Amino acid sequence: MRDWPSAPGDNADVIVLLAGLGGNAHAFDSLAPALARRHRVLAITRRGYGASGKPLPAGDASDSTYAPSTLVADLLAVLDALRIDRVILAGHSVAGNELTLFAGSHPRRVRGLVYLDTSWDYLATGGYEESPPSPLDEPLPGQADLASMAASIAFAKRINKRWWPALEANWRASLEVLPGGAVRPTTPPAIARAMDMAAHNFSPDYRRVRAPALVVTVDPGNVRNLMPWLTPQSDPAVLAQALAFLEVFRPLRLADGERLVAALPGSKHLVIRDGFHSDFFIEYERTVVDAIEAMRWEK
C-alpha cells in the first residue's frame, strides 16, 4: 500500500485507488500525487501482486482465493485497520468488479466511485477464455528479456505507448531479482491465472450501488493506441488485421461504456479520445483529475 497525505490542515476526503489486472499500487505514482493536492490518497496492491501476500489457489471450481468477494473483504480489512470510514473508490480495468461489489455490499463506506476504463460486465462480454495465440497479442518477454532488470525494462518500453516513471515503478515492483541478476514475475503463474479467471467470470450487480459514479471510457482512436507493440515496420498483414479489429472494437468499447453508465443512474461519463488503456490516466492526468474534482460526492 502507498499513502499520500493531503495538504497540511486539509481534512479532505480519502480516495482509494485500485490497479488493473497485474498492476500494483505504483501504477498510480503519478495520478495519486496529483489527487493528493486536495485529498488523502491510498493506492492498494491487491493480494497476489507486488509486495502483497500470495496464497496459492486450490485450483478447484469452488476455490475463492482470488474471487472478487475475497478481494473486497481484503479491502474492507485494510480500511478498518486504518480506521478509515468512508472513501471515494477508484479502480482501473478489472478493478471495476471490486468497486461495484464493495459499494453494493458496504454502501455506508462509499462516498463515490470512479471507473477507470472498466467494462460493464466481463462475463457477459466473453468471460475468461484461453484463446489460441494471435499475431495481435501483446508479446510476452522471452528469456533474453528477463536476463536483467534493464533488459526487462527495455522490453516493457517496446510494448507500451510511452514510458512513464510510474509505469517503471509498477514494472519493477512486479519483478524479483534472482541470484545472478535475472528477473522473474513476483506473481506465480497459477495465481495470475486464478486472478484472471475470477475477474473475467464475475458478473457485477449494479442494482445495489447507491453512490454517485464517474465512468471514464477510453477510445483508442488508432492502432498505435490499441496495440502499441505494433509499429509501422510490423508485418503489413498483421497491421491490416489490427486495423480491421480496431474498426470493430471502437464502437463496441464505446457502447460498453454507455451500458456501464446506464447501469449506474445519475453517473457522469467522460470519454477520453486517443488514449491507451494502460496509461491514459497518466497521459491525460489533468483531464482525469479535473473530472474527479468536479464530481459531487455524497456527504
Three cell numbers, residue 63: 476455490
CATH number at residue 8: 3.40.50.1820
Q: Is residue 92 part of a domain?
A: yes
What is the pTM assigned to this prediction?
Answer: 0.96
Q: Is residue 125 part of a domain?
A: yes
Is 70 exceeded by the pLDDT of residue 11? no
pLDDT tens digits, one per residue of 27-84 = 999 999 999 999 999 999 999 999 999 999 987 767 899 999 999 999 999 999 999 9
pLDDT value, residue 129: 83
Q: Is residue 149 part of a domain?
A: no
Q: Is residue 6 part of a domain?
A: yes
Domain that includes residue 79, residue range: 2-130+187-294
The number of folded domains in the chain is 1
The CB-based long-range contact list for 49-53 (8 Å cut-off, 24+ gap) reads 49/19, 49/22, 49/23, 49/24, 49/174, 49/186, 49/187, 50/24, 50/25, 50/26, 50/173, 50/174, 50/186, 51/24, 51/173, 51/186, 52/24
